[in-house]
Chains A and B, each alone.
Chain A
Amino acid sequence: MFPSIILLKEGVENSQGKEQLISNINVCQSLLDAVRTTLGPRGMDKLIVNEVGKTTISNDGACILKALDVCHPAAEILVNVAKSQDAEVGDGTTSVVLLTGEYLKNLKSFIEEGVHPRFVMKSLRQATNFAIEKIKSISIRIEDKDKEKEFRNLLEKCAMTALGSKLISHQKNFFGKMVVDAVLMLDETLGQKMIGIKKVLGGALEDSLLVAGVAFKKTFSYAGFEMQPKRYNNPKIAILNIELELKAEKDNAEIRISDVHEYQKIVDAEWKILYIKLDLIIKSGAQVVLSKLPIGDVATQYFADRNVFCAGRVPDEDMDRTLKACGGSLVSVVQDISDLNLGSCKTFEERQVGNERYNIFTGCPQAKTCTIILRGAAQQIMDEMERSIHDAIMVVRRTIKNDAIVAGGGAIEMELSRALRDYSRSIEGKEQLLIGAVAKSLEVIPRQLCINAGFDATNILNKLRQKHSMGKIWYGVDLNTEDVADNYEACVWEPAAVKINCLSAACEAASTILSVDETVKNPSAREEMPERGMRRPM
């Protein structure tokens, strides 16, 4: 009997070898089931309630995985790949997870048969590179960017495809236009923060509106606010970072007064400080005063007296966008205020939206920003709308930067699959099988589309294979007629960048999972962990 060598601290989990690899793959498979059914226009939503009772209803792969609170290390890789797709291109998060899972599933048998994981990874990379080249070569570009109408049309089609699988699929024409309008308002850098999304309960989805400028909710107001005018034409806007309240100027200061008559002087001095500030603002000619910090009741009434509108405690991001839209600059010291750092816009008004009141600035001179006000019957609906709109915005931005497109609805995947299969036959050795497996994996997208819609997947897939082998590269699943159709003609378009990113991210994730053959996990600081740790595969 050899004494056992204790290498690791007690409670540290250590598992290794091929079994570990297989086990990781299986974990990914079962996580996949959580998002599998959300793919495509006939995909379903998931409802997730967390411990504090917050409900999330979503169709967005990244959002679902985030809400699931995954704690298995291998499964977390899948979550991260969805997140990265979300951050990089915004759309196709479900596809990327699905693809990773399918790669792993089809390559698992090779691992079991004893092919070295490194070799599998190499082939996977090779296949992915080939596929990306293929996408680049067959993607369609709008040659003439000057044809504005055509370019716009392209953007709208892409936005609509992205929205097709969401809750608002029926309003995709409406929202597609809105998203394209919104993105086209931005400047070249296409900063996504410049599109504000606000949500107001009530109203039909079509009541959502796009404001070419800034809109934000009425802030907390003091007495006197109602007496201020609520509409201006060509106002000057002062954007401040100054507290306009009667208060102690210094927090820890203490005054000792020896004579009671000094009292009045100090009070007067305090008032004077505030009044000097207010006077300077009025003198600058500003008609709308916004501040990040509170504007107190005295100031509110002072402004009301002089027909000036004010809003205090404006949230930071709204302020940023107001600055971008109306020009001017953020003033932190009243003495600095002058005509130069005042912003302006064509009209400012307070408008009733549902049950809320909104401050709306339109006709801004540097309108490189816009606001979408969403309406819906319930908070969760609007949350989901926001995510969908976000996806669409990302897709449109991507397309503007890189205008190549491919046909969606499984068409591009089928074509890649065919090309890879042909390519694999030209290779000698083990790679042939492995690349063949990758080719097979790509078919998961059209297959899942069919399954989600309740179609006969085998039948549709066979039809697609036949069409693609005849060189009709844009044939994909047609969900309306339960058949195959030319999805390029049907205007189901996706930006090529989304697909390329999807392929490379899935490849990276699969490789990462394949390259792990040992997990060492320290016991968590949480108390119940050791007990749970016992159940983990050793």
Chain B
Amino acid sequence: MASMPGTLAFDEYGRPFIIIRDEEKQKRLTGVNALKSHIMAARSIANTLKTSLGPKGLDKMMVSSDGDVTVTNDGATILKQMDVDHEIAKLMVQLSQSQDDEIGDGTTGVVVLAGALLEQAEQLLDKGIHPIRIADGFELAAACAVRHLEKISDSFPVDVNNLEPLIQTAMTTLGSKIVNKCHRQMAEIAVNAVMTVADMEKRDVNFELIKVEGKVGGRLEDTVLVKGVVVDKDFSHPQMPKVLRDVKIAILTCPFEPPKPKTKHKLDVTSVEDYRALREYEQEKFDEMVKQVKDAGATLAICQWGFDDEANHLLLQRQLPAVRWVGGPEIELIAIATGGRIVPRFEELSPDKLGFAGLVRELSFGTTKDHMLVIEECKNSRAVTIFIRGGNKMIIEEAKRSIHDALCVVRNLVVDNRIVYGGAAAEISCAIAISEEADKISSLEQYAFRAFSDALESIPLALAENSGLSPIHTLTEVKARQVKEGNPALGIDCMLKGTCDMKEQHVIETLHSKKQQIVLATQLVKMILKIDDIRSPNDSMGF
């Protein structure tokens, strides 16, 4: 009995009782201890990400349990790969995930902000302020910051004929990524891709229509935007022509095989004649199928399933190029791009169900035997593919993520064209506004407001630090200038271009993204601050 852990309850007769199953195996933290331990966990996550913030932020390399290496500076990806175990740390992972889902960009910033808020909250807790008062104060301050952001936001010209401003914005996003070697080119690709797909009337962009493909080899500069579909497949027979023009495409979801019933069946072959008949039948069927495709007027067959060598040979003989084993999503994209219909049966093929493409060609790469099929000049050019080349797989993966971020930013601008200035200019401006507001509050929330304003400043501080500037010095200078000149576009000059005016540097972020960062971070901080009691199985604590 003496070995009982301290959490066990005793009644006044000195007898212990067990109320909760396996109580002795549980760990319980309450009150301020619980809060402090949460704050510690959250801060250590935030600190990991801090150095990835901004254009000069560094990348992280993660090796997964089965040896896959990922190099990235995308906050959401880093956290996902870190495989954290602590409950609060998991919340932080979800936080960046939700920013990724909603906006696609700013995933590092949101975690750093949440970490900074918690750091400030810890100091307030030490002052003896009730955690919920702190959380309430933060929430009020966040509302105030959002209002301020709306006030300082600029409207941004999204014009199909003048893509230059959009490209500049995409460049900001890509600035912090590995691809900044060919910065401009990538930005142009992203903008063009979105603008091709965008529905300017509905202000909506369907990402399903943009596909990002990568292939090892070549240089990043070789990355291209294909206004059509790229499929990682080649023609089924090496002797088929490599380039086709004015192609009519039959899109099939049935195999080039004699049809089989789905019901369980059995065919007994008892004699040689039977066997011959079967053989003949099969050949006949192949013949018929190819004929059906040909009759419909198709000059290319794209098939979701495979077909055996015999069929393949027959197709070559009949001069019907074909592609086999094309995946479902690709089939769909091809159908959308070429305006064709997916046909489930040979019997249903008809000329009006065929898709049309101006050019289908097979690409081969360097010395490798890899081939890819490019379908271009389609009837409906709304489906596009971004085709990335790069030195190794990790670079391509990272480039994919970066392009995705850039695509998201451009999309967000199409959806809502209000912007704020980046380089932490918006954060500094909000920090000033909130600390001004703080003086007008008579209650305890004043402290929370000040703390919120301090937390916002941690973003410019981290930016400056990552850029190799003296953080406090730079921040105070910019802050002073913002107050004096009343210009909310002044930020940290990370690229050392000699001006702090982000308007001139074209460092732009969408208003929606900034708002989300602040709102999401505050939400999470409130949740963490509200917890005063944790029970968990003993072994799952810590990292």
Q: Is the CB of A49 within 8 A of B18?
A: no
- Per the 8 Å Cβ criterion, residues 486-525 of B in contact with A are 515-516, 519-521, 523-524
In the assembly, what is the distance between CA of A528 and CA of B530, in Å?
36
Residues in B whose Cβ lies below 8 Å from that of A55:
87, 90
What chain A residues lie within 8 Å of B253 (beta carbons)?
A: 223, 297-298, 301
Q: Is the CB of B131 within 8 A of A377?
A: no
Q: B40 near A: Cβ within 8 Å?
A: no
From residue 363 to 422 of chain A, which have CB atoms closer than 8 A to chain B? 376-381, 384
Flag whether A209 is at the interface (Cβ < 8 A). Answer: no
**In the bound complex, how far is the Cα of B45 from the Cα of A82, in angstroms?**
37
- A205-B523, A257-B267, A378-B524 given as contacts; is B20 within 8 A of A44 (CB)? no
Complex CA distance for A360 and B534, rounded to whole angstroms: 39
Which of A242-250, A320-328, A339-347, A495-503 lies at the interface? A242-250
Give the distance in Å from the alpha carbon of A449 to the alpha carbon of B28 in the complex.
23
Rounded to whole Å, the gap between the CB of A470 and the closest CB of chain B is: 29
Q: Which of chain B's residues has its CB closest to A203's CB?
A: B102
Q: Would you call B391 an interface residue if the criterion is a C-beta within 8 Å of the partner chain's C-beta atoms?
A: no
Asked if A57 is an interface residue, CB under 8 A from chain B, the answer is yes
**CA–CA, A526 to B329, complex, Å?**
51
Known: A22-B11, A203-B516. A257 touches B265 (CB 8 A): yes
With contacts A26-B11, A31-B19, A71-B21 known, is A227 near B335, CB below 8 A? yes
Q: Is the CB of A23 within 8 A of B535?
A: no
A202 B102 Cβ-Cβ under 8 A: yes
Q: With A223-B328, A223-B332 known to touch, is A27 a contact of B19 (CB < 8 Å)?
A: yes
Give Cα distance in the complex from A296 to B131, angstroms: 53
Residue of A nearest to B415 (CB): A352
User: B265, A255: Cβ atoms under 8 Å?
Assistant: yes
Q: How far is the CA of A53 from the CA of B537 in the complex (A)?
A: 8
Does A222 count as interface, using CB distance less than 8 angstroms? yes
Using CB atoms, name the residue of chain B closest to A76: B19
B543 beta carbon closer than 8 Å to chain A: no
* B127 close to A (CB within 8 Å): no
Once the chains bind, are B531 and A57 in contact (CB under 8 Å)?
yes
Cα distance, A267 to B278, chains bound together (Å): 16
Name the contact of B99 in the complex, choosing from A30, A47, A202 (C-beta under 8 A): A202
Q: Cβ of A261 and Cβ of B281 under 8 Å apart?
A: yes
Closest to B521 in A: A377
Q: Is the CB of B535 within 8 A of A49?
A: yes
Q: Which of A150-158, A281-289, A483-491, A529-537 contacts B (4 or more CB under 8 A)?
A: A529-537
State the CA gap A384–B528 with chains docked (Å).
Answer: 13
Q: Annotate A9-51 by CB proximity to B: 1 below 8 A, 0 otherwise.
A: 0000000000100110011001100100100011111111111
Q: Contact between B11 and A70 (Cβ–Cβ < 8 Å)?
A: no
CB of B416 within 8 Å of the partner chain? no
With a 10 A CB-CB cut-off, give which of A205, A249, A260, A535 has the most chain B CB atoms: A260
A53, A204, A532 interface centre (most CB from chain B within 10 Å): A204
Q: Quick check: is A256 within 8 A (CB to CB) of the other chain?
A: yes
Check: B219 CB closer than 8 A to any chain A CB.
no
CB B376 to nearest CB in A, in angstroms, measures 20
A503-537 contacts to B, CB under 8 A, are 532, 535-537
Cβ distance A139 to chain B, nearest Cβ, rounded Å = 30
Partner of A48, one of B17, B19, B132, B535: B535
Q: What is the interface size of chain A, counting residues whose CB is below 8 A from a CB of the partner?
A: 88
Interface residues of A in 211-245 (CB under 8 A from B): 222-227
Q: Which of B90, B265, B535 lies in contact with A68, CB distance below 8 A?
A: B535
Interface residues on chain B, number (Cβ under 8 Å): 81
Q: For window 165-221 of chain A, which residues contact chain B by CB distance below 8 Å?
A: 167, 169-170, 201-205
- Closest B residue to A356 by CB, please name it: B101
A50 partner residues in chain B, CB cutoff 8 A: 537
- Residue A302 at the chain B interface, CB threshold 8 Å: yes
Instruction: Give B489 Cβ to nearest chain A Cβ, in Å.
Output: 25
Q: Does A271 contact B (CB under 8 A)?
A: yes
The B257-286 residues at the A interface (CB cut-off 8 A) are: 258-268, 274, 277-278, 281
Q: How far is the CB of B416 from chain A (nearest CB, A)?
A: 13
Contact flag A378-B532 (CB < 8 Å), given A70-B19, A204-B520: no
Given A225-B332, A355-B101, the answer on whether A30 and B19 have CB atoms closer than 8 Å is: yes
* A4 is an interface residue with CB less than 8 A from chain B: no
* A305 on the B face (CB < 8 A): yes
Residue in B132, B261, B263, B304 whose CB lies within 8 Å of A42: B132
B66 interface hit (Cβ, 8 Å): no
| A453 located at the interface, meaning its Cβ lies under 8 Å from any Cβ of chain B in the complex | yes
A254 touches B264 (CB 8 A): yes
Q: Indicate if the CB atoms of A379 and B523 lie closer than 8 Å.
A: no
Q: How far is the CA of A315 from the CA of B208 in the complex (A)?
A: 24
Residue of B nearest to A46 (CB): B533
Whether B157 is near chain A, meaning CB under 8 Å from some CB there, is: no
Is A471 positioned at the interface, with any CB of B under 8 Å from its CB?
Answer: no
Q: Which residues of A contact B9 (CB under 8 A)?
A: 26-27, 30
CA distance A59 to B526 in the complex (A): 13
| Neighbouring B residues of A119 by C-beta, 8 Å | none
Whether B11 pairs with A23 at a CB distance below 8 angstroms is yes
Query: Please, how many angstroms separate the alpha-carbon atoms of A59 and B532 in the complex?
Result: 11
Residues of chain A with a CB closer than 8 A to B332's CB: 223-227
Closest CB of chain B to A258's CB: distance in Å?
A: 8
Judged by a CB distance under 8 angstroms, whether A317 is at the interface is no
A437–B285 Cα distance when bound, in Å, is 92
Rounded to whole angstroms, the CA-CA distance of A26 and B515 in the bound complex is 50
Q: How far is it, in angstroms, between the C-alpha of A77 and the C-alpha of B304 when the chains are bound?
A: 61
* Complex contact B531–A45 (CB within 8 A): yes
Are A377 and B523 neighbours in the complex by a CB distance under 8 Å? Answer: yes
Q: How far is the CB of B330 from chain A (nearest CB, A)?
A: 9
Could you give, for residues 279-321 of chain B, a 1 whenever the CB lies within 8 Å of some chain A CB and a 0 otherwise? 0010000000000000000000000100000000000000000
Q: Contacts A75-B19, A380-B91; is A256 near B535 (CB within 8 Å)?
A: no
Which residue among A41, A71, A202, A304 has the maximum number of chain B CB atoms within 10 Å of its CB? A202
Which of B11, B103, B534 has most A Cβ within 10 Å?
Answer: B11
* Residue in contact with A532 in the complex, picked from B18, B264, B266, B304, CB distance below 8 Å: B18
CB <8 Å contact, A47 and B342: no
What is A's interface to B at a CB cutoff of 8 Å?
Answer: 19, 22-23, 26-27, 30-31, 34, 37, 41-51, 53, 55, 57, 59, 68-72, 75, 167, 169-170, 201-205, 222-227, 246-250, 252-261, 263-264, 266-267, 269-271, 297-298, 301-302, 304-305, 352, 354-355, 376-381, 384, 453-454, 532, 535-537
List 9 tightest A-B contacts by C-beta distance, closest first.
A202-B102, A355-B101, A49-B536, A44-B532, A202-B98, A378-B94, A267-B259, A26-B11, A204-B519
11 pairs across A/B with beta carbons < 8 Å? A23-B15, A43-B132, A44-B132, A46-B533, A71-B21, A202-B99, A202-B516, A247-B262, A298-B345, A536-B18, A537-B13
Other than the known A42-B133, A167-B530, what 9 A-B pairs have Cβ atoms closer than 8 Å? A55-B90, A201-B97, A202-B101, A223-B304, A227-B341, A257-B267, A263-B281, A376-B523, A378-B95
